[in-house]
Amino acid sequence: MIVMSIDAKLVKKLRDKTSAGMMDCKKALVESEGDFEKAVDHLRKSGIAKAEKKGIRETKDGLVHSYIHAGGRLGVLLEINCETDFVAKTEGFSDLAHNLSMQIAATNPLAIDREYVSESILKREKDIYIEQAKSSGKPDDIIEKMVNGRLNKFYQENCLMEQVFIKDPDKRVQDLVTESIATLGENISISRYIRFAIGEINSNNGQL
């Protein structure tokens, strides 16, 4: 399968018009063979554009979901928020909370997203990557690209929203949340979580 090249300026233009994510915009343009208006229609039909616009609305309701893995040696408490009590009580919202809790139990993410990763952890990782890159003998500009690449991989593995969804390797957790926003019609946010495991002292809580 040949994937056509899409101009980054066209992707930005589509994002500015629809408020959808960059990857969603690029995918829509690819599937629309570069036709801007068709890409807009594609995003609207899928509900992604509408979901992204809802992302600026306040989430004052929600629920605290508990998940205990089989055997009782691992558990997660998750606070997930939406706009109204009505949506908080829906099966779709509960299913999302359950899937997110299972994700946290399985992958033990360090934080919800990049902004919650502590400076001390980030500095430690970056220092390691810089030393590893320098040992390769590459020029400084290449070293910088290598370090940035490894940092991005670190985020993708350790930030909940950037992780690959355990039930569908073609999706990120962010995609799962965006789809739920489109389906349920309200903004959804993850406030905090804590993961408990027998024998682990430093279980993560998503708010480092």
**Tens digit of each residue's pLDDT (9 = 90 or more) over 167-201:** 999 999 999 999 999 999 899 999 999 999 998 87
The pLDDT value recorded for residue 1 is 37
Distances (CA, A) of 37 to 8, 44, 54: 16, 11, 22
Binned at pLDDT 50, 70 and 90, residue 53 comes out as low
pLDDT tens for 113-156 read 998 898 999 999 989 988 888 887 777 788 888 888 999 999 99
Residue 89 has pLDDT above 50, yes or no: yes
How many other CB atoms are there within 10 angstroms of residue 103's CB atom? 23
Determine the Cα–Cα distance for residues 93 and 80; give it in Å rounded to an integer.
Answer: 9
Question: Which residue(s) pair with 76 in the sheet?
Answer: 67, 195
Distances (CA, A) of 116 to 40, 84, 90, 111, 134: 32, 26, 29, 6, 28
**Better-predicted residue by pLDDT, 33 or 167:** 167
Q: Whole-structure pTM over 0.85, yes or no?
A: no
- The whole-angstrom separation of Cα 99 and Cα 26 is 27
Nearest to 24 by CA among 58, 57, 53: 53
Could you give all domains of the chain from N- to C-terminal order, each with its CATH number? 8-54 (1.10.8.10), 61-113+159-197 (3.30.479.20), 118-158 (1.10.286)
Q: How many CB atoms lie within 10 A of CB 174?
A: 17
- Under the banding of pLDDT at 50, 70 and 90, the label for residue 206 is low
Q: What is the chain's alpha carbon radius of gyration, rounded to the nearest angstrom? A: 19
